[in-house]
Amino acid sequence: MKTKYLIIGGVTISLGAIIYFMSRRSGQRKVTSDNNRPSKSEKNVGVLYLPNWDQPFNQEFAAEVKRHVAPQKVEELDPALGKKLSKIILEAKGFFIDDEDHVEDIFVRQLGTKVHLSGLSKAFYKETGGKDLWKYLASFVSKGKINRWVNQLSNYRIQP
């Protein structure tokens, strides 16, 4: 008789736990509808695009900023300069001795904005055959230093 009640109780608790966890999981799903997204043919007049200011190493950051300041033009990094700076960054990492001063010089003197940093990230990706600039820098420079250098940059500069 006790065994019967233990089995019924165990099954009831198990079913309750399964229902509880299934309901929690389904509540976490985000449903996106294509009806809320504007089509490519529509003009998005009055839509404000906000770039993620905390991710300037993202190669699409420059495009996001361009959409944000749409009628005005944003100053971008010259591709030839991006290629040159990429080579300097590649050479800065040594086997035993790393030259962080050259990298700091690039961030402090050569790059003026986070849009320039995004362009450098794109040039570095192309120059190295797919290496991520953030990961490469973090392999020999502390993340605190990198963040300090990035925080000194302005977000963007409008072309005159």
The reply to whether 36 falls in a domain is no
Distance CA 46, CA 38 (A): 12
Residue 97 within a domain:
yes
Left (φ > 0), alpha (ψ -120 to 50) or beta: where does 122 sit? Answer: alpha
pLDDT of residue 54: 79
For 110, residues 6+ apart whose C-beta sits below 8 A from its C-beta are 81, 85, 116
Q: What is the pLDDT of residue 84?
A: 93
Residue 120 lies in a domain: yes
Give the tokens for residue 56. 């300037």
Residue 134 lies in a domain: yes
Q: Quote the number of domains for the chain.
A: 1
Domain that holds residue 75: 61-151
Please say if the pLDDT value at position 125 is more than 90: yes
Q: What is the pLDDT of residues 6-46, one digit of tens each?
A: 788 777 888 777 877 777 765 544 444 444 444 444 455 55
Domain assignment of residue 107, yes or no: yes
Domain of 105, CATH number, reads 1.10.220
Decide: 59 and 122 in contact? Cβ < 8 Å.
yes
**Residue 35 within any structural domain of the chain:** no
| pLDDT tens column, 92-116 | 888 888 888 889 999 889 898 999 9
Burial class of residue 128 (count of CB atoms within 10 Å of its CB; 0-12, 13-18, 19+): middle
Identify whether 25 is part of a domain.
no
Radius of gyration of the chain (CA): 25
